[in-house]
Amino acid sequence: MIEEVKVVSHRFNINNSHLLDTILSYGAYRVLPIGLSMKKDSILDMIVQSGLRGKGGGGALAGEKWLLMPKDDPRPSYLVVNCDESEPGTFKDRQIITKDPHLLIEGMILTAYAIGANIAYIYIRGEYQDFEAILQKAIDDAYEKGYLGENIIGKNFNLDITIHRGAGAYICGEKSALLESLEGKRGHPRLKPKAKEPEWYFGNPTLVNNVETITSVPFIIENRAAAYKRFGTENSSGSMLFALSGHIEKAGVHEVAFGTSMLEFINQFGGGVKNGKKLKAVIPGGSSTPILTADEVAKATLDYETLRSLGSSLGTGGMIIMDEDTDMVEALKNLLEFYHDESCGQCTPCREGTGLTDTLLAKILDGRGSSKDIDKLLDLADIMNGKTICVFAPAVSGVIQSFISKFRDEFEKKEIK
């Protein structure tokens, strides 16, 4: 039996947990006095020692990113929280927004204090209008109670938080495209620097982290790094909110430790495949992660290293379940239509490649294709991989290659007879 972990979800089941008056009696903002009394370097060291990973898809060590923020710099520093969450199959961050927005705010205050930032932004997905209203109410209440603004809880620290609503562009989930959008420009990813450095907002050092990453900070500061490392594996410490959707009896979001069996998670929390059918495949971490067969799922554990060894990625933890009757050609076509539409168009291999693969797959799906067209799909995927500014095209490439390599017989059955 898998035990749920309660790092960020410990108040999810409380009625009206999004309201400050309700949640204060359950420990909201109790970590602030602890954190704001600590030395900033102590908090930074604690985050490094905890092994906290970014939970927006990349899985980079959060502490290493925090340490890139300059100290004693005359320029202002900024904190930006990525709540774009446009990855199909992913809906964990909105659980935090609706169930415990004040935990996010508390995490932002502690993070901003540690990196020396007095201004923070939450970049929220354009379609999340209702969730934005809940979050804005929480921010307004936090200001009223003195948890935001000047001299927070009587300490010599100020922080202002502003919500910035996107316009529904999937690419703005990529951190540099997000910052371009935040600056009022078109959301195009930026060229990556040669050496490690912070992100930049109007030329000022900026930390960008996912909602769940920041929401994990109060637990670590209150209970120390060792308590967080008790969960998970040696290289993937802690826990994560994992989502279930697709052909599953019970869709939902549950927090468990890294290293948990994927198949056990699906069966225990999702009730297994819908209508008692057999499992055929799982997209493990949002739609842009390579697909796993049922046999691979049986071997998989929910951690970064194991998923990488299986040729996929943990991504955002959004698992899309597919039953035995799923047409894998149609499933890939559905994904390629999305990527074709959402490519920002900045890089030719991505702009043209997503369109060409979508068109070619439509031909195969209509029974007008041949084995040469399947091979051409793979050639196009290879051209798209590693030749663009951001990881959008390489991710699409990996998805195409995984579907065809593992289910090629279904593609061949669509050929002209």
pLDDT in tens, 377-399: 999 999 999 999 999 999 999 99
DSSP 202: T
* 145 occurs within a structural domain: yes
User: Above 70 in pLDDT, residue 201?
Assistant: yes
pLDDT in tens, 400-414: 999 999 999 999 998
CB 336 within 8 A of CB 358: yes
Confidence of residue 320 (pLDDT cuts 50, 70, 90): very high
* pLDDT the model gives residue 337: 97
Q: Is residue 309 part of a domain?
A: yes
- The CATH number given to whatever domain includes residue 358 is 1.20.1440.230
Beta-sheet pairing, 239-246 with 318-323: parallel
Among 173, 208, 229, the domain boundary falls at: 229
Mean pLDDT of 3-29: 97
How much is the pLDDT for 194? 86
Q: What is the mean pLDDT of residues 19-35?
A: 97
Q: Whole-angstrom Cα distance, residue 262 to residue 298?
A: 7
Residues 222 and 245 in one domain: no
| Residue that finishes a domain, picked among 323, 343, 358 | 323
Residues 177 and 112 in one domain: yes
As a whole-number percent, the residues of the chain with pLDDT over 90 amount to 97
Using an 8 Å Cβ cutoff, are 330 and 365 in contact?
Answer: yes
Q: How far apart are alpha carbons 83 and 38 in whole angstroms?
A: 28
Domain count, the chain: 3
Q: Which two tokens stand for residue 2?
A: 């898998």
Q: What's the pLDDT tens digit per position in 239-272?
A: 999 999 999 999 999 999 999 999 999 999 999 9
The answer on 75 and 210 residing in a single domain is yes
Q: In CATH, what number is assigned to the domain containing residue 54?
A: 3.40.50.11540
- CA 168 to mean position of chain CA atoms: 16
| 291 domain residue, yes or no | yes
List phi, psi (to 5°) of 213: -60, -50
What pLDDT sits at residue 96? 98
Query: Is residue 377 one of the residues assigned to a domain?
Result: yes
- Say if 387 falls within a structural domain: yes
Q: How far apart are CA 345 and CA 356, in angstroms?
A: 13
**Judgement on whether residues 106 and 142 belong to the same structural domain of the protein:** yes
Question: Residue type for 261, please?
Answer: S
The last residue of one of the domains, among 264, 296, 323, is: 323
CB 178 within 8 A of CB 56: no
Query: Is 312 in the same domain as 354?
Result: no
Please compute the mean of the pLDDT values over residues 96-111 and round it to a whole number.
98
- Whether residues 387 and 260 fall in one domain: no
Same domain as 152, residue 69? yes
Task: Reduce the DSSP state of residue 355 to 3 states and report it.
Answer: helix
Q: Would the pLDDT of 107 be above 80?
A: yes
Mean pLDDT (the chain, rounded)? 96
The C-alpha R_g of the chain, in whole angstroms, comes to 22
- Both 219 and 287 in one domain: the answer is no
Kindly state whether residues 407 and 266 are assigned to the same domain. Answer: no
Per residue in 204-235, pLDDT (tens digit) is: 999 999 999 999 999 999 999 999 999 999 99
- Tell me, yes or no, whether 13 lies in a domain: no
Residue 144 confidence (pLDDT):
97
CATH of the domain at 267: 3.10.20.600
Q: Is residue 3 part of a domain?
A: no
**pTM of this prediction?**
0.96
Do 302 and 360 belong together in one domain? no
Q: What is the pLDDT of residue 411?
A: 95
Mean pLDDT across the stretch 291-295?
98
Which range of residues forms the domain containing residue 300?
Answer: 239-323
Backbone phi and psi for residue 297, each to the nearest 5 degrees, phi listed first? -60, -40
Report whether pLDDT(417) > 90.
Answer: no
Same domain, 181 and 298: no
> Does residue 254 sit in the same domain as residue 108?
no
Asked if residue 159 is part of any domain, the answer here is: yes
Cα–chain center distance at 411:
31
